[in-house]
């Protein structure tokens, strides 16, 4: 009987989740040709094509959809076996490992965690804030139990998913732009989904740009935009929550939406993971005024240096 190596399945799932061979290669720490070779080997082993050949980007065939769903289940069992093997002595506390690509989300989470732990005294949390691709790699490796994901493509198999309108934001004072000169951008830099979407949007319109400020945290970016140094992209919901001005009549092209998703690890204490994911979703996907209230309370303390 033919055995399908789990590393090939993990590569397949990563390609699907990140939407491209290039991003999957970066996430897995290998070259793009290596990813292509693994997918080709998987095609040969299974005797069928998993991706449509006639479309741009990554799109699964009907057979591919079936394989990916089962691959996730197999990888989950694989990770669960590793957990059992390395568990060692039984522990009374449950540690929930959470990855968030946003210091805003990391800031609003503690209040939700406090309420959750008040009901479940044996639960502890470890929160990691980093860029999306690094966290996705950790999630697929079984190093995270919950993942908060922001992506230009609609998430697959997310427990919660919401389309987020993206807008240009500026400071309180009107900012005059000369479209014959480079557009002044404020951003986290290359690993950020906002950065990539801003560049893609401006390039598609044939507009030049320059990076006038790259900051390590949301607070530094808010200050730069507020001072009128430049403009940046934010989801409308997030812009409202942090008090930034959406520039709806900007003389710039409209960016495409982003998708926020919450992924839950299939193995481990899934019931608890799902309950926590549901409560966090009620906050980060809830009314902007709720987010604004929470952010206003913790903003003076929120100095995390992470990004989306």
Tell me: the pLDDT tens digits for 149-185?
A: 888 888 778 888 889 999 999 887 767 888 999 999 9
pLDDT of residue 157: 81
- Map the chain to HEC letters: CCCCCHHHHHHHHHHHHHCCHHHHHHHHCCCHHHHHHHHHHHHHHHCCCCECCCCCCCCECHHHHHHHHHHHHHHHHHHHHHHHHHCCCCCCCEEEEEEECCHHHHHHHHHHHHHHHHHCCCEEEEEEECCHHHHHHHHHCCCCCEEEEEECCCCCCCCEEEEECEEEEECCCCCCCCCCCCEEEEECCCCCHHHHHHHHHHHHCCCCEEEEEECCCHHHHHHHHHCCCCEEEEEHHHHHHHCCEECCCCCCCCCCCEEEEEEECCCCCHHHHHHHHHHHHHHHCCCHHHHHHHHHHHHHHCCCCCCC
94-158+259-301 fold: D-Maltodextrin-Binding Protein; domain 2 (3.40.190)
Q: Indicate the pLDDT class of residue 105, thresholds 50, 70 and 90.
A: low
What ranges do the domains of the chain cover?
Answer: 6-81, 94-158+259-301, 166-246
Percent of the chain exceeding pLDDT 90 equals 17
**CATH assignment of 6-81, among 1.10.238.10, 3.40.50.620, 1.10.240.10, 1.10.10.10:** 1.10.10.10
pLDDT of residue 308: 61
Range 214-218 average pLDDT? 80
Q: Do domains 94-158+259-301 and 166-246 have the same CATH topology?
A: yes
Q: Indicate the pLDDT class of residue 91, thresholds 50, 70 and 90.
A: very low
Q: Is the pLDDT of residue 257 over 90?
A: yes
Q: Which CATH architecture has domain 166-246?
A: 3-Layer(aba) Sandwich (3.40)
């Amino acid at each position: 009987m033919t055995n399908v190596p789990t590393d090939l399945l993990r590569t397949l799932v990563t390609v699907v989740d990140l939407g491209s061979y290039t991003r999957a290669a970066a996430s897995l720490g290998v070259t793009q040709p290596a990813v292509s070779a693994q997918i080709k080997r998987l095609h040969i082993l299974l005797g069928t094509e998993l991706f449509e050949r006639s479309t741009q980007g990554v799109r699964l065939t009907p057979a591919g959809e079936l394989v990916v769903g089962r691959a996730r289940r197999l990888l989950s069992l694989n990770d669960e076996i590793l957990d059992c093997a390395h568990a060692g002595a039984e522990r009374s506390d449950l540690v929930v490992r959470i990855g968030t690509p946003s210091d805003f989300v990391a800031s609003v989470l503690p209040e939700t965690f406090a309420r959750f732990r008040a009901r479940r005294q044996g639960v502890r949390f470890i929160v990691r804030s980093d860029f999306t691709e690094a966290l996705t790699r950790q999630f697929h490796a079984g190093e995270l139990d919950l993942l908060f994901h922001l992506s230009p493509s609609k998430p697959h198999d997310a427990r919660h998913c919401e389309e987020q309108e993206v807008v240009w934001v500026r400071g309180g004072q009107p900012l005059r732009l000369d479209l014959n000169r480079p557009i002044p951008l404020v951003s986290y830099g290359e690993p950020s989904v906002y950065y990539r979407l801003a560049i893609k949007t401006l390039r598609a319109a044939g507009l030049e740009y320059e990076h006038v400020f790259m900051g390590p945290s949301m607070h530094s970016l808010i200050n730069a935009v507020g001072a009128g140094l430049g403009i940046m992209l934010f989801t409308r919901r997030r812009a409202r929550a942090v008090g930034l001005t959406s520039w709806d009549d900007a003389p710039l092209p409209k960016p495409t939406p982003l998708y926020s998703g919450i992924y839950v690890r299939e193995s481990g204490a899934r019931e608890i993971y799902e309950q926590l994911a549901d409560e966090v979703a009620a906050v980060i996907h809830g009314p902007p005024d709720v987010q604004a209230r929470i952010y206003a309370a913790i903003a003076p303390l929120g100095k995390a240096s992470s990004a989306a």
